[in-house]
Every structure is written in C-alpha cells, then in structure tokens.
Amino acid sequence: MEGNLKDIFKEKLTDLYGEFHPIVSKFGTSSFGKISSDLCISSSQFSKLISGSATEGMYMRSIRNIEQLTEHQRVLKESKQLKKELAKNKNKGIEAFSANQSKKKLYISLIFICLIFGLIIGYYFAKGSFPSESINSHNKHPLSPFFNKTDNKTTYLGFLNENEVQEYCPSSAFEGKWILAQPYKIPLPGSKNSGVYLLAKSADITLVTSKYADNKGRVLLGFEYLTHEVWVDKRRQALIPEYFDLKTRLFTDLYNNLDFEEDENFVKIADLKSFFLDEFTILKDSIIRKGQPSGRYVDFLDTELAKTYNVDVNYILNEVISDLTKTKCNSTINEYCNPNDLKVNSTISFNCFYSIGIENLGIGGGYPYTKTIQLVKKNYSDNLICDCGE
C-alpha cells in the first residue's frame, strides 16, 4: 500500500513541478527544500516520503497538499486568462449590447474564480497553521513571533539591544536560537510492562539573558519547546540485561545502536509536545543547566496500536514521564570562556541522569543520557570585550 502511495506521491510531484532528478535532489527546477516548504512539511519528512519510509497517513496528507497546490495553479492560470480576455475586450471598445453582456459575464466569472482562489489559499494556509491529526515535528516555537522578525509585522524582539550586549557579557553571546543536536532515547521502566521508550526527537530552544539575576551577565533563561515520541518494542523485550548493564550502570552497545524507525520490532504509539523552562549559568570554567517541565500533551495517538500492545499513554504521560522528578544534568566544561569563540553550529553537551520513582527495578542512581544543544542563530555576533577573568 505504502509503495503505491510513494509512486502516486512522486507522480503528482512530477505533474506539478517537472521531471524527477534524484542526483541533484530536484523535481524540474524546484529543490526538495522548496517543495517541502510548499507542502508545509519538514525536510526530514519529505526525505522519508521520497525514500518510501513514511507512514500511510503522511503520504495521504502530502498527496492532498499537492492536489491543493495543483488546483491553486489551475485557478491562478484561469484567473490570469480571464483578466487578459477582459482587457482585450475593453481595448476593442465594443459598445453593443451583446458585448456588454459578455463583459458582465467575464466580471462575474472573475469574481467567482477569485472567491474560489481565496478559499483554496485560505484552506491551504489554514492547514499549515493548525494542528493536523498527526504531529509536524518541526512546528514553530510558540514564542517565535517574539524573537524573530517577520515580514509584515512591526516587532520589538525579546533579546538584548545592541547597547546592552557588552554590559551583559558573556551571557549575551549565548542569546539566540538553539536546537537539539541529535535525538536521544530513554526507557520508561515504570510503564507497567517493559519495552516502552521515550525518544526526544527535536527541540527548539530560545535563550535570553536574565537582566535581574544577581550574577549579572552570567544567567540565561531558556524557553524550550520539545517533541517526544513514544515507541514500543513489539516483543516487550526486558531492559535488563539486554539493553542495560547493572554492573556498569550503563546502556549496552545494542541499546545505543537501536534505531526505532529502522527496526521492524518497534512501532510508534504517540507523539508528545513539551514545554520546559531552563536556567543556564555561565561560569568561568563550567556551564550549569537547570530545567523545569512546564506542560506536556499528547499531540498524536495511534489508538489501535496502543490497544494492540496494551499501552496506556495517559498513564505514561501522567504517572511515568511526569514522575521523572529526579532528572539531573551535571555541569559541563565551558569551552567558550572567550565568548567570541561561540559561533553558529557550536554545541554544548550535558551528561544527565534520570530515575522514575514508581519503577521497581531497584537501579538507584538513575539511568544516564546525554543532551546536546546546537546554536543555529545568534542574536549578537560582533566582538564582545569581556573575558574569562571577568
């Protein structure tokens, strides 16, 4: 079924954009990036659609989007043609009654076409503005309008002004947009049955200098918007000893090499959205992060799979994940003592541990995981004058 949908997906793209050129990643003259933007989906999701690894639902929604774009092109073409005919008839200066009637018909037709065009465009952009039945893992950060300039808005951004950045150095160097550098996964041993995992898929993080912290220029506030996925091992394989070594208190290589999306033993049950408030303290030789969850909800749930594998996502959300009260990240070495060393694509990694109060495995000390964030857009990129000793 999905193979047929993949073929249909490519055929419709070919009809709309032109011949498929896999070597240069284009349909006609349009790049994959432009097409994914037109379809209101992420580049990674578009890659899955092209490769054939997307779900049936992803194919169906994307095919509908292509059909809407095709209709949009058709209506736009007809509208332009009507305008040309109207201008042509006007230039002829036909004053006969029949000509006036034709003009009236053209005006009415043009108005009608414009109304249809407006409805299609409104529907198309509405689909991109409201949640669909399945998660879009690259939705914009809820605070994006407050920290990113938009074309049609007069905006006062929430970052430091240029005349403040030196005063609040070095934290001013860290201000901007960060993302999760790579996904990480953690098992949920408190979920009644083994084989349930939480995959941190993506994060959109905005860091802003705290102007009222006692340690001036050293504290950042982080607003973190995360996408998580809940995956289930269809075999309900126990965590110990296959995936976790009790002696070393470390995950095994087998666990570290797991790729849920590529392993047929795993199925995705749900998508979650989370919002965190973070506090980063920038010290001379280290960086300290503290995080506080501020809300989480289920954005997509495959009820049939959840029922098949006896997974209570509501229980996991409210009892298991919400019981990660002992999550703690160790401080990390400050590699950017000179704040001017911090560039776009720089990363910061935190080694963390978590434990679940309701689990009965008796682990103690928690399970380790690493969270790495990457800078993708800086608020201020000119030279800063503070140094490590200040």
Q: Is residue 178 over pLDDT 80?
A: yes
The answer to whether residue 386 is domain-embedded is no
Q: What own/partner pairs with CB < 8 Å and gap ≥ 24 does 380-386 have?
A: 380/159, 380/160, 380/162, 380/165, 380/172, 380/173, 380/175, 381/344, 383/340, 384/165, 384/166, 384/169, 384/170, 384/172, 384/173, 384/339, 384/340, 385/166, 385/169, 386/166, 386/169, 386/170, 386/217, 386/339
Buried-exposed string 82-109: b where 16+ CB fall within 10 A, e elsewhere:
beeebeeeeeeeeeeeeeeeeeeebeee
Residues 24 and 76 both lie in one domain: yes
In this prediction, residues 342-365 reach a mean pLDDT of 78
Number of structural domains the chain divides into: 2
Closest by CA position to 170, among listed 326, 13, 285: 285
Residues 374 and 326 both lie in one domain: yes
Q: Is residue 68 over pLDDT 60?
A: yes
**pLDDT score, position 31:** 82
Residues 148 and 125 both lie in one domain: no
Determine if residue 147 is left, alpha or beta; phi over 0 gives left, psi from -120 to 50 gives alpha, anything else beta: alpha
Per the CB < 8 A criterion, the answer to whether 269 and 230 are in contact is: yes
What pTM value is reported for the model?
0.61
Give the residue, 95 or 25, on which the prediction is more confident.
25
The answer to whether residue 187 is domain-embedded is yes
**pLDDT score, position 362:** 57
The residue segments making up the domain with residue 69 are 2-129
Distance of CA 154 to the CA centre of its chain: 25
Residue 66 phi/psi, 5-degree rounding, is: -65, -40
**pLDDT score, position 341:** 93
Residues 240 and 301 both lie in one domain: yes
The answer to whether residue 385 is domain-embedded is no
The answer to whether residue 137 is domain-embedded is no
Residues 196 and 273 both lie in one domain: yes
Amino acid at 37: S
The answer to whether residue 28 is domain-embedded is yes
Give the residue, 40 or 264, on which the prediction is more confident.
264
Domain end residue (candidates: 76, 95, 129): 129
Residues 115 and 32 both lie in one domain: yes
In this prediction, residues 214-241 reach a mean pLDDT of 91
Question: What is the Cα gyration radius of the chain?
Answer: 27
Which range scores top for mean pLDDT: 110-119, 125-134, 217-226? Answer: 217-226
The answer to whether residue 139 is domain-embedded is no
Give the residue, 5 or 320, on which the prediction is more confident.
5
Closest by CA position to 350, among listed 178, 159, 173: 178
Spatial distance between the Cα atoms of 15 and 156, rounded to a whole number of angstroms: 43
Spatial distance between the Cα atoms of 110 and 191, rounded to a whole number of angstroms: 60
Per the CB < 8 A criterion, the answer to whether 189 and 250 are in contact is: no
Spatial distance between the Cα atoms of 130 and 123, rounded to a whole number of angstroms: 11
Residues 116 and 24 both lie in one domain: yes
Residues 174 and 115 both lie in one domain: no
Domain end residue (candidates: 72, 102, 129): 129
Q: Choose the weakest-confidence range: 27-31, 37-41, 198-202, 232-236.
A: 37-41
CA 60-61-67 angle, 5° bins: 90
Q: At what angle do helices 56-92 and 43-51 cross, to 10 degrees?
A: 110
Residue 350 phi/psi, 5-degree rounding, is: -120, 130
Q: 106: Cβ–Cβ under 8 A, 6 or more apart, which residues?
A: 82, 85, 86, 89
Residues 192 and 310 both lie in one domain: yes
Q: At what angle do helices 2-17 and 56-92 cross, to 10 degrees?
A: 20
The answer to whether residue 37 is domain-embedded is yes
Per the CB < 8 A criterion, the answer to whether 102 and 47 are in contact is: no
Q: Is residue 120 over pLDDT 70?
A: no
**Coil, strand or helix at 11:** helix
Distance of CA 109 to the CA centre of its chain: 42
Spatial distance between the Cα atoms of 248 and 153, rounded to a whole number of angstroms: 55
Domain end residue (candidates: 129, 159, 193): 129
Residues 124 and 152 both lie in one domain: no
Average pLDDT over the chain, rounded to an integer: 78
Distance of CA 11 to the CA centre of its chain: 27
The answer to whether residue 305 is domain-embedded is yes
Amino acid at 17: Y
Strand partners, 369: 352
